[in-house]
Amino acid sequence: MAAENAVRTNLLGLPPEELEAFVVGLGEKPFRARQLLTWIYKRRIGDFEQMTDLGKDLRARLSAVAEVRAPEIVTEHVSADGTRKWLLRAGRSDNREQAIEAVFIPELGRGTLCISSQVGCALDCSFCSTGAQGFNRNLSTAEIVGQVWLANQRLGVGPAGERAITNIVLMGMGEPLANYRAVLPALRIFMADHCFDVSRRRVTLSTSGLVPQIYRLAEDTNVALAVSLHAPNDALRDQLVPINRRHPIAELLESCWHYLDAQNGRSITFEYVMLDGVNDHLSHARELVKLLVGHDAKVNMIPFNPFPGTAYRRSKPEAIAAFRDYLNVHGVTATVRRTRGDDIDAACGQLAGRVHDRTLVRLGSKMISVGVEA
Q: Active-site positions?
A: 101, 348
Strand pairing of 167-170 and 203-207? parallel
Give phi and psi for 233, each to the nearest 5: -145, 160
Neighbours of 365 (CB within 10 A): 14
What 155-158 contacts at long range (C-beta under 8 Å, 24+ apart), as own/partner pairs, is 155/84, 155/104, 155/111
3-state secondary structure of 119: strand
Helix ranges restricted to H, the chain? 2-5, 16-25, 31-37, 56-65, 129-132, 141-155, 180-191, 211-220, 234-240, 249-262, 282-292, 317-329
CA distance 246 to 11: 38
Task: Report helix, strand and coil shares of the chain as percent, to nearest 5.
Answer: 35, 25, 40
Distances (CA, A) of 259 to 123, 254, 263, 272: 22, 9, 6, 20
Q: Nearest-5° angle of CA 210, CA 214, CA 218?
A: 170
Dihedral angle computed from the Cα positions of residues 276, 277, 283 and 288, in that order, rounded to the nearest 10 degrees: -40
CA distance 189 to 220: 13
